[in-house]
Amino acid sequence: MFTVRSPDSSMVPWRRVNELVYLDPLRAVGDRDHALVEVPLEAAPNSPTFYNKLRRVRRVGGGVIDLEKWECRGELERVPETGIIRMLRALEWDKMLG
């Protein structure tokens, strides 16, 4: 398990700017879980450089995943599964404490 800091306000009120987010790379990411999603930079798709997004994951099926921001409920970013480098599941407080 390790932590990252929430980089922006896109996930408020779930996590505030600069708040710690605990990640467990061994737990699978399921539908409606929160996760750190790593995607390649669009400006350099053949580069090993990537971009991290904290999002709520909504599996659609057919090789497609929707990524949801808390601040923009209903606004989804549709990403093909092949366009995701990896997803790390964020742990909810009740799972960590209980």
- Of 5, 19, 86, 24, which is closest to residue 51 (Cα–Cα)? 86
What pLDDT score does 33 carry?
93
For the entire predicted model, the pTM comes to 0.82
Q: Which helix (H) or strand (E) holds 93?
A: helix 93-97
The CATH number of whichever domain residue 21 belongs to comes to 2.10.109.10
Residue 96, judged by CB atoms within 10 A of its CB (0-12, 13-18, 19+), counts as: exposed
For residues 55 and 12, what is the distance between their CA atoms, to the nearest angstrom? 11
Rounded Cα distance, 52 and 4, in Å: 10
Q: Which amino acid is at 63?
A: G
Total domains in the fold of the chain: 1
| Domain span including residue 88 | 2-97
For the stretch 35-90, pLDDT in tens is 999 988 776 666 667 778 899 998 878 889 999 988 766 678 899 999 898 999 99
List CB contacts of 13: < 8 A, sequence separation 6 or more.
Answer: 70
